[in-house]
Amino acid sequence: MKMKKITFLLLSLFSAASFAGNYADTGAEAVPQNNKESESHFYIDLGASGYYFDQPSTTLPLSTGYGSGYYNVPIPATAGDGYDADKLAFAPSITLGYQFLTDNADLQRIFGQQNSIELRASYFHNTGTQSESYDDQPYYVNVFPITGGVNFTDTSLDMTDSSVDFDNTYADVGLYYTGNKVISNTLINSPYIGIDVSYLKQDSDSSDTQYFGDATNDNKPIYDTPLYGIGSDDLSSYYMGLAFGDKATWLFAKNYGVYGKLGAGVYWMHTKLSASQTPVSNDVEGFLDDSMMATYNVDATDDQATFKVEAEAGLNYYFKNNQDQMSPRITLLAGLDYWNDVAYADNPTEANQAVAIAYDSSLNPYVGLQMHIPL
């Protein structure tokens, strides 16, 4: 199914580029004038946006519901509450570009006379904490080792609170070949293609408080000393592939233009997981089994093909005029990007499971400003 989606996106975007390529720069259009008039020059694009990263939810390595070997009640396998790190992040970006005129007929058919080489980079970082409290009612949990195995006790524990701290970092670098194909004095087509590499690091640290409760005595604690559990899931994902797309700009009035952009990328994704778990970090009067006091570690890797797609629209204001290639401009933009696969740690929720790398999709809206500075 994923390969069918990738094939459809490739055909759609290349069809759009081929359609635009039918408008070759020929005849009077081939004479540099107005918005086509440009000498070779460097430029910088500086941008900043508010980026809402939709990270997949995760759960602690436990199931919920009461079970006990003492009362012949089976241990349930119901997953615990999900924890989400969705949060707005500040995302700066920079593009270093060199624009030039080309006489190559093949390049002109697709990219027009004005071509550019661009080095693009972007970044975001966000942190957050999600906490839950269960003081008002018994919240029975059954904790499992992340390395695989049965739950640690013969009876469920009463969890009173839990918390997960998230820390996400993303960086992207791409080298692109772009066009600036003039269809008319008011319409410009700008296809692009390039090599893109991005890195996503997702770190989470969890903690919880539990008690040995007595279900036959209004869940009053058997021991007054709380049990503190801790854990962590650290994921590093590398996306390496080919990105491409097209942008159409309509110029109006003297200083304005609007554009729409569609883009996609096909990637090979490599993910590393480092997970740690200490079910109980403190003893209760020497009562606990050594297995509950131990630290469990899991390291895993996974590789797969994936894709991303993007849609964006924006309004340009040209400080000189929209027919001058050397005019600085400022852009107000908004968009959505879709990642078909974002990794998360799939913790065990029943006996004899181990933590594993799993994936979910992510739809991320953003709004921002960008400044184009010809040099």
Q: Is the pLDDT of residue 35 over 60?
A: no
* 197 and 170 Cβ atoms separated by less than 8 Å: no
Least confident of 2-6, 35-39, 272-276, 287-291: 2-6
Give me the pLDDT at residue 37, please: 52
Domain definitions of the chain by residue range? 2-25+43-349
In angstroms, rounded to a whole number, what is the distance separating the alpha carbons of residues 182 and 374?
19
Give me the pLDDT at residue 355, please: 97
**Burial of residue 242, with CB atoms counted within 10 A of its CB: 0-12 exposed, 13-18 middle, 19 or more buried:** middle
3-state secondary structure of 295: coil
Give me the pLDDT at residue 226, please: 87
- Categorize the per-residue pLDDT at 56 as very low, low, confident or very high, splitting at 50, 70 and 90: very high
Give me the pLDDT at residue 138, please: 83
Mean pLDDT of 34-48: 79
CA distances from 213 to 73, 137, 220 (A): 15, 12, 6
* 189 and 76 Cβ atoms separated by less than 8 Å: no
- Categorize the per-residue pLDDT at 31 as very low, low, confident or very high, splitting at 50, 70 and 90: very low
In angstroms, rounded to a whole number, what is the distance separating the alpha carbons of residues 325 and 322?
8
Give me the pLDDT at residue 32, please: 39
DSSP H helices, 22-92, are none
Q: Is the pLDDT of residue 27 over 70?
A: no
pLDDT single digits (tens) 68-126: 888 889 999 999 888 988 889 999 999 999 999 999 999 999 999 999 999 999 999 99
Mean pLDDT of 354-361: 97
Give me the pLDDT at residue 38, please: 59
pLDDT single digits (tens) 185-239: 899 999 999 999 999 999 999 999 998 865 555 555 556 778 999 999 999 999 9
- Top pLDDT among 13 and 194 is at 194
In angstroms, rounded to a whole number, what is the distance separating the alpha carbons of residues 96 and 115?
14
CA distances from 243 to 90, 100, 135 (A): 23, 22, 50
Strand 220-221 and strand 256-278: pairing?
unpaired
Per-chain mean pLDDT for the chain? 87
Give me the pLDDT at residue 34, please: 42
Q: Is the pLDDT of residue 67 over 60?
A: yes
**Burial of residue 284, with CB atoms counted within 10 A of its CB: 0-12 exposed, 13-18 middle, 19 or more buried:** middle
R_g (Cα) of the chain, nearest Å: 27
- pTM equals 0.86
CA distances from 175 to 91, 192, 239 (A): 19, 10, 14
Tokens 């093949």, located at residue: 106
Give me the pLDDT at residue 359, please: 97
- Top pLDDT among 29 and 157 is at 157
pLDDT single digits (tens) 113-129: 999 999 999 999 999 99
3-state secondary structure of 3: helix
DSSP per-residue string spanning 104-162:
-HHHHHHH-SEEEEEEEEEEEEEEEEEEEE-TTS--EEEE--TTS---SSSB-EEEEEE
* 213 and 219 Cβ atoms separated by less than 8 Å: yes
Give me the pLDDT at residue 285, please: 62
With pLDDT > 90 as the criterion, what percentage of the chain qualifies? 72
- Which range in 136-145, 235-244, 321-330 is most confidently predicted, on average pLDDT? 235-244
Q: Is the pLDDT of residue 251 over 90?
A: yes
Q: Is the pLDDT of residue 256 over 50?
A: yes
